Structure 1
């Protein structure tokens, strides 16, 4: 960049030397400040001129943009300086700036005492000096070379071709008007040699109408649908062009077919561009860039940087505390943070938010975008989504949404487009007819066929019009886009290999990566890439080695890819995979699915499988389970091509286990889809004798059958787990064996053996030694054993010991930094307080559970907490009828563990409001449910409550007594002393009413006299009070 102060001679005549020095110094300080902001280097002060380098000695990927921005900043800052100079000295300054880009030789020059260490040699600085001479005062003029590199980021006015002093060839010059607002490589690519927009005036008008509503504060959503090549991206770019004169911000996401199972990939890719991450940045530099960006969002919490750092795989390096969040809650907070940042920006100024190729979006990105769609009307936001017709957005219709479907162009408009592509030069009618017919109105095909014809030699230009060089051969114009693109590539034979290699790398690729993969030397590679750019197969951003390339359209990438022979395609994929492994460690760490893809397409299945496993594990660690399922299933698909060996079986076991766990998280523990992966993994473990992996596999099957209330099967699996633990003699496995078996036995009503297993497990548990068990099995086994000890001890008639164990479980869980374990302890432990009828404590625990589960994203525990709150309020509160109605809704929607318990509470509540009939109807199916599932831990209470409801009806004392007797039989067979006491109290009260006081006192005294603790609990107080009445 060359910057010159206009009219300095006149200034020297107007001011004395001291004043002139002061003015020149102020001018130089303004220039230096602007240059410094954009990391330029002032090489020389030449009187009132400055020679500035961008890209040397410090290079950036966007140095041409930095130079132009610095020039515009100088013009703007000089205007600010003039405000002071007009007041103080009654004068104004004007500058002229020229910017040119080119190759130079850089290094030390000179001799003796005049050595320049950062000198450059070449015509580039001379041309920039000549450019500023052609500039108007207070303007920036650039060469066509620079304009090509910054195109799309700035609005430029063509100044025509100029002869510059000392330059042999005329040069096209451009005046930089302003920045365009473009911020992404896609925006720039779409603005480079754009396809003419034809026949879309109505759609453009509709988009401008929606934008007007946005500027008035009513956000809008536009769904733009159309087949590939129909012009969706071109329409989006046209809207952005139309908005160039209005203040707005463009935010653009691009979804990728290679990353459909990479959680939030388009968001991550955008953030890395927005933060200007470079491969050579250290983790500390990346964290600092993130911190600086977050300074502009002062409304955000202190968690913002750690949350985004985790999303971007940037280590915190001890500068922030680690977030103690479950993966589910961390994912939720990440989405909430991203949404808050975007909405805040859109409240300050209008935002055009574009998501390209939504049909390739990953599930987590769709979740984020769904929230954005819902909240768009609250701010100045136009959210546009482009996608192909086979995709339907998974969000409901809203008043602020608009659907636009792009149709093919009619023949008249297709021929008009051909004419524009030919720069208005006439084309023979028979050629027009074939292009229009074979393109079938698809704009991209129209463009590619036209370019193919213009490059083919079929036409020659005569007096401003094209004429056929001979008869038009029948097959001269291909019938498919693939054929057309292949023909064009064939005419660029030397560059075809580079295009094909680029197509293997993806829709976008860096010079750094293709250079690492290619066997060509740098000059040859650079030349081939330049030819592909000039032929408009590729768009280019920046200069090598910082250059990035984008295929003009996904169909062009597909065409180049499909032109590869299978053997060569596999060879390229293998080269890419190995280069990534050897030279791009960060990509291997953050995008293992990319390695999985390349090794899969290379036919190297054994190398691919571990990467699909790692990709799935990485997704699951971020609670992106749907994406994880995609990776695990891809790994299994690839694995099926390998021969049946123990090594293959071992890999499949790990993938099936991981798949089953993710299906638990997404479909629910009782979903039928969960069983097949675990069953297959079990069969494989038994086939190869893998005793270590079979334990977690059986645990997964146990959880599946346990939640489905298939308790006999769950019992068999728990017994197998315990037997495996004995075979391995592993205390950690013993813990899980005892815990799972105790859980099942409790539900089966076998309380004495259940207590034996929880006590054995508690004796083995060591908090520090077994801390990692929570990560392997979902919760800490210590709190699980303690809380079930609480339940079993209450059943067996030890209320005080029961309470102590339940409280110990909560205390232990509070110190584990494992939220789900605490949630489990609060949930199951509150059942002890239900048994004790301490409903105020149940309510307090339920509120705490609900808050924790909501914060952490534990949906099942959140629903559990909500149900328990409603139950406690209904039992205690004055609005019992309203509470009953809500509880009945819960009951109708619930199946599985807790269904019978909740039904009994609800039935009893119906009795308290005089609706015993409704309560009995509710319980009519309970005996069959018990027989089917084997869930008998509430069986005695079922018959007792049924008896109480019959008594409320008033005419069924005999049937009620029969129910109480049945309840006593069940309780006694189970050694369930607490149920036995509660039932004995109900029966004694009935006998009292019937005048059988002696029998009543004898029955109740025997049961009450057995107890040695818990005398302050509701059941024992009721029994004592009734005994006193019967005395």
Structure 2
């Protein structure tokens, strides 16, 4: 109301109101003075009854009408003013023990100054010395005390406080490294600041707190800009960029434009530096980025480079990641058999007793990642029971190592496997945990994928309207982030949801988009199968179209070696033929496909295929 009364000619933007409130902590006097100063600054422009940010609002400084009285009160403190200023450098709160070390005062002198500060009402006290902690009554008081210091004095105090914190810590690790980094950065010691920003990021990675790690590494990268350009600085920048990229890939999604730009900068740094181990990590990251963007030609080139690099270097972990990269590339190119070969090699190279989550490449336990892809591929090859049993063990392994991102990855693959098994109940259970974990840790890409699978499960269990709405919303998130790879599979799920409601035209549009937009080729056969199902439910004139779609789907599945997709397509085709009175053709089509399977008899696809086969043979008297 105060802001509205002063800015009576127009409406002040919500973000401006929020900043004023945060800065003034709701103090009516400070709100009034800050609003007046802001309007007088010209940073807000009045247009059509609304104030518009001119673009320089972030540079607005607190007006002297607020600082002036506060500075006067500080000036009246005598020698205690300096103590207040040292406290302002520490922060809004400052403990007695740290202030004693940083100020160089005797305990008696410091106690006298602090007593005067508390009596003035500018500072509040909790506890008794030497365990007491003091805090400025208002953030603007701290800021006024801080701004009154000469810049050289501020830098000296920041360094003195950093030194005091380290001495007080004594190697105990109690002081957050980001606090030390901030003091070193403000004190003009960028190298120490970078070292502690990176330490803070490493600790955040260990907790899978990737958003926090991202903030620390962005600070480190900005601080690197203060260093002289030299080979050592370029190498340091390369290391920080690759770490930052690892965090960003998980929080913003692999396809985000800024992430590709970051790694292209890293590649350029590698070329400037020459032979460096970071080159493998950079190329691995670019391979994943191009994969999610659906740029499969670039993916193949990157995977080949990684394999060549691994062949020249005697490093088991490098070979493991190179095999994994090539397996991922082959799977999404639709070469299922070769994908399985590479992924099996990657899993065989895993050493759970030695391997730890790899921050520079995929940011997770390498065994969990490789096993997830391998077990998913087993389903495509026609081993549904093995896929289900093995992915269960992978999830258990991820829980054992207590690494959040590895667990998110394992759950993602478990959801994919159970979706392939058409087990909607298991998908709902798994996605509930996966959505919660992803949301809590800022893994937008994984959360969106989980929500689509969850929407599919809802649609399969007679909650199609709710499930479709959820899928559409999550798909929009992925498309906004530039994701292409998963779109084909997700759009097929959306089409199946539309079919549950009999919305044929919407289903066909989703399938046309799946074919047009690109994505993983491992789902190519499914585009034709579902389109065949849509036409099979249509008029007599649509039957020919349905047959063409089913036949194309079968051809693709057989060429790719995807036996599970071949069986699913053959089952749908056989059901249609049966309904059209062509039972003999249906039996000749489905029987050989079903005979190829030696397991999975409790899975939905095989149960349906076996039931249709039995019906057909009973009808023929076989």
TM-score, normalising length: structure 1: 0.48
Q: How many Å separate the matches in 2 of 1:847 and 1:986?
A: 27
Q: How many Å separate the matches in 2 of 1:888 and 1:747?
A: 23
Does residue 638 of structure 1 match 2:223?
Answer: yes
Instruction: Look up the match of 1:387.
Output: 22
Whether contact under 8 Å (1:774, 1:781) holds in the other structure is: no
Q: 1:514 to 1:1012 in 2, by over 3 A?
A: closer
Whether contact under 8 Å (2:184, 2:192) holds in the other structure is: yes
In structure 2, which of residues 420, 425, 431 is the aligned counterpart of residue 843 of structure 1?
A: 425
Does residue 958 of structure 1 match 2:544?
Answer: yes
In structure 2, which of residues 267, 272, 289 is the aligned counterpart of residue 687 of structure 1?
A: 272
Instruction: Look up the match of 1:948.
Output: 533
In structure 2, which of residues 595, 613, 619 is the aligned counterpart of residue 1024 of structure 1?
A: 613
Q: How many Å separate the matches in 2 of 1:534 and 1:892?
A: 55
Shift, 1:928, TM fit:
0.9
In structure 1, which of residues 754, 757, 766 is the aligned counterpart of residue 339 of structure 2?
A: 754
Q: How many Å separate the matches in 2 of 1:557 and 1:880?
A: 56
Instruction: Look up the match of 1:321.
Output: none
Instruction: Look up the match of 1:904.
Output: 492
Instruction: Look up the match of 2:513.
Output: 925
Question: More helix by proportion, 1 or 2?
Answer: 2
Shift, 1:748, TM fit:
1.9
Whether contact under 8 Å (1:774, 1:780) holds in the other structure is: no
Shift, 1:850, TM fit:
1.3
Q: How many Å separate the matches in 2 of 1:780 and 1:735?
A: 12
Could you report, residue by residue, the CA deviation over 1:40-66 in whole angstroms, capped at 9, with x for unpaired residues?
xxxxxxxxxxxxxxxxxxxxxxxxxxx
Could you report, residue by residue, the CA deviation over 1:859-909 in whole angstroms, capped at 9, with x for unpaired residues?
6656655554553453354x6566556555555665445433343244345
Whether contact under 8 Å (1:605, 1:638) holds in the other structure is: yes
Does residue 574 of structure 1 match 2:159?
Answer: yes
Whether contact under 8 Å (2:382, 2:597) holds in the other structure is: yes
Q: 1:501 to 1:747 in 2, by over 3 A?
A: same
Does residue 673 of structure 1 match 2:258?
Answer: yes
Q: How many Å separate the matches in 2 of 1:600 and 1:447?
A: 27
Q: How many Å separate the matches in 2 of 1:731 and 1:225?
A: 69
In structure 2, which of residues 362, 377, 380 is the aligned counterpart of residue 792 of structure 1?
A: 377
Whether contact under 8 Å (2:243, 2:360) holds in the other structure is: no
Whether contact under 8 Å (1:823, 1:853) holds in the other structure is: no
Instruction: Look up the match of 2:32.
Output: 407
Between 1:537-546 and 1:622-631, the stretch displaced more is: 537-546
Q: How many Å separate the matches in 1 of 2:118 and 2:568?
A: 89
Does residue 445 of structure 1 match 2:68?
Answer: yes
Residues 633-782 of structure 1: pairs in structure 2 closer than 5 A: 633-689=218-274, 691-772=276-357, 777-782=362-367
Instruction: Look up the match of 2:554.
Output: 968
Does residue 608 of structure 1 match 2:196?
Answer: no
Q: How many Å separate the matches in 1 of 2:491 and 2:477?
A: 12
RMSD: 4.6
Shift, 1:610, TM fit:
0.7
In structure 2, which of residues 179, 186, 204 is the aligned counterpart of residue 594 of structure 1?
A: 179
Larger Cα-atom Rg? 1
Q: 1:867 to 1:522 in 2, by over 3 A?
A: closer
Q: 1:496 to 1:939 in 2, by over 3 A?
A: closer
Instruction: Look up the match of 1:293.
Output: none
Instruction: Look up the match of 1:173.
Output: none
Shift, 1:819, TM fit:
5.4
Shift, 1:942, TM fit:
0.9
Q: How many Å separate the matches in 2 of 1:572 and 1:441?
A: 25
Shift, 1:653, TM fit:
2.7
Q: How many Å separate the matches in 1 of 2:408 and 2:118?
A: 62
Whether contact under 8 Å (1:874, 1:883) holds in the other structure is: yes
Q: How many Å separate the matches in 2 of 1:617 and 1:225?
A: 49
Q: How many Å separate the matches in 2 of 1:225 and 1:615?
A: 45
The structure, 1 or 2, with the larger RCO (C-alpha pairs under 8 Å, 6+ apart) is 2
Instruction: Look up the match of 1:479.
Output: none
Instruction: Look up the match of 1:285.
Output: none
Residue 32 of structure 2 aligns to a residue in which SS?
coil
Whether contact under 8 Å (2:590, 2:609) holds in the other structure is: no
Q: How many Å separate the matches in 2 of 1:406 and 1:747?
A: 58
Whether contact under 8 Å (1:907, 1:922) holds in the other structure is: yes
Q: How many Å separate the matches in 1 of 2:112 and 2:464?
A: 79
Instruction: Look up the match of 2:57.
Output: none
Q: Say how many residue pairs are matched.
A: 571
Q: How many Å separate the matches in 2 of 1:531 and 1:405?
A: 26
Residue 735 of structure 1 aligns to a residue in which SS?
helix
Whether contact under 8 Å (2:204, 2:210) holds in the other structure is: yes
Instruction: Look up the match of 2:49.
Output: none
Q: 1:729 to 1:1027 in 2, by over 3 A?
A: farther
Could you report, residue by residue, the CA deviation over 1:773-823 in whole angstroms, capped at 9, with x for unpaired residues?
599844433343334333323323344444444444345445544455455
Shift, 1:590, TM fit:
2.0
Residue 537 of structure 2 aligns to a residue in which SS?
helix
Q: 1:780 to 1:846 in 2, by over 3 A?
A: farther
Q: How many Å separate the matches in 1 of 2:92 and 2:582?
A: 89
Instruction: Look up the match of 1:191.
Output: none
Q: How many Å separate the matches in 2 of 1:691 and 1:790?
A: 33
Residue 770 of structure 1 aligns to a residue in which SS?
coil
Residue 268 of structure 2 aligns to a residue in which SS?
helix
Whether contact under 8 Å (1:789, 1:806) holds in the other structure is: no
Residues 498-509 of structure 1: pairs in structure 2 closer than 5 A: 501=86, 504-506=89-91, 508-509=93-94
Instruction: Look up the match of 1:828.
Output: 413
Instruction: Look up the match of 1:166.
Output: none
Q: 1:785 to 1:657 in 2, by over 3 A?
A: closer
In structure 2, which of residues 492, 501, 504 is the aligned counterpart of residue 916 of structure 1?
A: 504
Whether contact under 8 Å (1:916, 1:953) holds in the other structure is: no
Instruction: Look up the match of 1:871.
Output: 456
Q: How many Å separate the matches in 2 of 1:681 and 1:891?
A: 30
Residues 96-495 of structure 1: pairs in structure 2 closer than 5 A: 387-388=22-23, 406-408=31-33, 442=65, 445-446=68-69
Q: 1:810 to 1:1021 in 2, by over 3 A?
A: farther
Whether contact under 8 Å (1:736, 1:781) holds in the other structure is: yes
Residue 921 of structure 1 aligns to a residue in which SS?
helix
Shift, 1:648, TM fit:
2.0
In structure 2, which of residues 542, 566, 573 is the aligned counterpart of residue 980 of structure 1?
A: 566
Q: How many Å separate the matches in 2 of 1:994 and 1:557?
A: 82
Shift, 1:1027, TM fit:
5.7
Shift, 1:408, TM fit:
4.7
In structure 2, which of residues 86, 97, 101 is the aligned counterpart of residue 516 of structure 1?
A: 101
Instruction: Look up the match of 2:12.
Output: none
Q: How many Å separate the matches in 2 of 1:654 and 1:225?
A: 52
Residue 918 of structure 1 aligns to a residue in which SS?
helix
> Gaps (5+ residues) in structure 2?
7-16, 35-62
Whether contact under 8 Å (2:357, 2:366) holds in the other structure is: no
Whether contact under 8 Å (1:911, 1:952) holds in the other structure is: no
